[in-house]
């Protein structure tokens, strides 16, 4: 199983996979099998049990809070605690019929898809350029391309509010999409660079020798092979947009309210169980994205 999208780790992990005959392929037993660490520590039975107990508790801590509150969205009552007075879909009906929840979901999906598309195209081109040719100042360019990952979103949000105001881009879908694409682009660059590490550049030369133009060689030879990486990068960009509150809070108008933004106002105001229904929707989308990335990352 492949690990998730933590940022700088990706190139490496996939880079490690690039050489199938590497001395220590992590999951499969190596040719001259050194004992697995588990077996190595076999005599330390109590320690092992303690480690399992600790690990399971830690995972419970990670999973339990969200799993514990999601069933509340099926409540027939309006309390935020158990036992449920009965089961119903009234909060989902509320989500469906209200004036702002469903539009917020559509806004989120639209902005996320557009931002992922923009970040995906720009990020893939940039990653290919960075990988194919070395040029002076590459380290600086790389630092600029990855900077949105380390600058807190609230600073980006306020800066964009100031910059977009005079341009008429605040309270517009264009502005929100541009902001979210900037935040998502580094994830595309990192993921596509990782995918390119598995791609053998001699194929491009072979394509050129066969008379293909560089564009055609990229389109027909390289892109099909790195497509899973490109798609995974686009999913990360989509997830970044779908998770984003601060920029949406500052530069979106009432017509561009995204689902997280709507949840933020709801939580600030008074918590209704409709928020839990919205949370359920977001969790389902997150699950789909995790599934998509896991399938895309599976070694072929």
Partner 1 sequence: MAQGTNAPLKARLAAAALVAPLLLFLLGVFVLPIGAFLFRAVQEGEVAPVLPRTLAALSAWDGTAPPGEPAFAALVEDLREARARDQQAGGGGIARAAARLNADLPGFRSLLPMTARRVAQPFEGEARAAVLAISEEWGGIAPWGAIRRAGGPVSDFNLLAVLDLKRDATGSLATAPPDEAIFRAILWRTLWMGLLATLICLGVGYPLAWLIATAPPRAVPWLMAGVLLPFWTSLIVRTAAWMVLLQREGVVNAALGALQLTSGPLPLLFNRGAVLLAMVHILLPFMVLPIYASLKSLDWRLPRAAVSLGAAPALAFWRVTLPLSLPGVGAGCLLVFIQALGFYVTPALLGGANDQMLPYFVAFYASRTVNWGMAAALSCLILAAVAVILAVYGRLVGFSRMRAA
Q: How far is the CB of 223 from partner 1 (least distance, A)?
A: 13
d(CA 238, CA 32): 43
Provide the Cα torsion 6, 10, 16, 18; round to 10°. 150
**Are the beta carbons of 75 and 86 closer than 8 angstroms?**
yes
Per-residue binding string, partner 1, 86-115, x by CB under 8 A, is ------------------------------
For residues 167-226, which are near partner 1 according to CB under 8 A?
178-179, 181-182, 185, 189, 201, 204, 214
Residue 251 near residue 153 (C-beta atoms within 8 A): no
* Burial tier of 193 (Cβ tally within 10 Å: 0-12, 13-18, 19+): buried
Using CB under 8 A as the binding rule, whether residue 76 contacts partner 1 is answered as: no
Closer of 228 and 258 to partner 1 (Cβ): 258
Determine the interface stretch with partner 1 among 92-100, 109-117, 125-133, 226-234 (rule: CB under 8 A).
Answer: 125-133
Candidate segments 85-93, 95-103, 223-231, 285-293, binder of partner 1 by CB under 8 A? 285-293
- Looking at 234, 237, 275, 277, which residue binds partner 1 (CB under 8 A)? 275
In the list 18, 41, 219, 253, the residue contacting partner 1 (rule: CB under 8 A) is 41
- Single out the segment in contact with partner 1 by CB under 8 A; choices: 40-48, 86-94, 96-104, 225-233: 40-48
Positions 3 through 32 that interact with partner 1 (CB under 8 A): 3-9, 11-13, 15-16, 23-24, 26-27
> Quick one: 134 or 300, whose CB is closer to partner 1?
134
Query: With contact defined as beta carbons under 8 Å apart, do 216 and 291 qualify?
Result: no
Tell me whether residue 47 or residue 227 sits nearer to partner 1 (CB atom): 47
Q: What is the x/- site pattern for partner 1, positions 46-65, by CB under 8 A?
A: -----xx-xx--xx-xxx-x
Per CB under 8 A, contacts with partner 1 among 228-267 are: 239, 242-243, 245-246, 249-250, 260, 263-264, 267
Considering the complex, what minimum distance in angstroms separates the CB of residue 163 from partner 1? 4
| Residue 160 binds partner 1, judged by CB under 8 A | yes
Q: Determine the Cα–Cα distance for residues 300 and 298; give it in Å rounded to an integer.
A: 6
- How far is the C-alpha of 122 from the C-alpha of 184, rounded, in Å? 11
Q: Taking the complex as a whole, how short is the minimal distance between the CB of residue 3 and partner 1, in angstroms?
A: 5
User: Shortest distance, CB of residue 107 to partner 1, whole angstroms?
Assistant: 15
In the complex with partner 1, the residue whose CB is nearer, 168 or 287, is: 287
Phi, psi for residue 87 in degrees, rounded to 5:
-100, 140
Binding track, positions 129-158, relative to partner 1; x by CB under 8 A = xxxxxxx-----x--xx-xx-xxxxxxxxx
87 bridge partner residues: 75
């Amino acid at each position: 199983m492949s690990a998730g999208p933590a940022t700088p780790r990706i190139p490496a992990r996939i880079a490690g996979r690039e050489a199938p005959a590497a001395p220590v392929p992590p999951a499969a037993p190596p040719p001259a099998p050194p004992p697995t660490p588990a077996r190595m520590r076999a005599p330390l039975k109590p320690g092992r049990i303690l480690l399992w107990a600790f690990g399971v508790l830690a995972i419970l801590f990670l999973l339990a809070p969200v799993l514990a509150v999601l069933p509340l969205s099926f409540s027939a009552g309006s309390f935020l605690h158990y036992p449920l007075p009965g089961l119903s879909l009234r909060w989902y009906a509320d989500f469906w019929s209200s004036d702002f929840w469903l539009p917020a979901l559509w806004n989120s999906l639209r902005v996320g898809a557009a931002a992922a598309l923009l970040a995906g195209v720009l990020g893939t081109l940039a990653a290919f350029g960075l990988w194919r040719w070395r040029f002076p100042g590459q380290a600086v360019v790389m630092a600029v391309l990855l900077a949105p990952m380390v600058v807190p979103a609230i600073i980006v949000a306020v800066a964009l509010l100031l910059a977009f105001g005079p341009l008429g881009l605040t309270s517009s879908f264009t502005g929100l999409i541009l902001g979210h694409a900037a935040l998502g682009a580094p994830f595309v660059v990192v993921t596509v660079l990782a995918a390119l590490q598995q791609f053998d550049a001699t194929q491009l030369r072979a394509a050129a020798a066969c008379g293909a133009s560089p564009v055609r060689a990229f389109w027909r030879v390289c892109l099909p092979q790195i497509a899973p990486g490109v798609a995974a990068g686009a999913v990360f960009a989509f997830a970044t947009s779908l998770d984003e509150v601060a920029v949406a809070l500052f530069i979106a108008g009432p017509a561009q309210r995204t689902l997280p933004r709507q949840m933020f106002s709801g939580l600030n105001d008074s918590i209704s169980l409709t928020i839990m229904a919205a949370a359920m929707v977001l969790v389902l989308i997150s699950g789909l994205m995790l599934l998509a990335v896991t399938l895309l990352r599976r070694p072929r």
